[in-house]
Structure 1
Amino acid sequence: MAITILDYVAAKVGIRESYTAVDHLSNGVHFLGGCECCHASIASYNAHPAQSGSWRCADCVGDSGYLTVAEFEADTY
């Protein structure tokens, strides 16, 4: 299963009970967005970074998501 934006934030700031907008923004990601394909509103817990550079929902991410945070970071930075 592809990682979510929240998985990425948790990897960067550590496991917490909750994550703030500052946790997201300080790591270069937003906490709300929309699916590139179906345009559904998604939040970091159900938003998957896609290799296209946009976010996708679980129904649309398919094989274009990243399996690990390291893979996402290597392609992003």
Structure 2
Amino acid sequence: DQLVDLISHRGRGRFEDPTGTARKVREVLRTSYPIDPHMDEMVTAALATAWDHIRFIKRSMKRLDRRIARLIDP
């Protein structure tokens, strides 16, 4: 299945059950509110920006954790 392959590849093995995840994604797609095609680009840009912020925060947390660890265990 293409979606399972995509989830496995893009998720880099972080999903314990790619098949179950694909099943849930399909279910959400069936029950979700459709996006107006005129708004699709804006929504996609907003989601991409939010994802960039999440990645930035994760990287910042890792750096802070390393610095704290160095201060605690010199």
- Asked if Structure 1 and Structure 2 have the same fold, meaning a TM-score greater than 0.5 normalized by the shorter chain, the answer is no
Report the structure, 1 or 2, having the larger helix content: 2
Structure number with the bigger relative contact order (C-alpha 8 A, sep ≥ 6) is 1
* TM-score of the aligned structures, taking structure 2 as reference length: 0.26
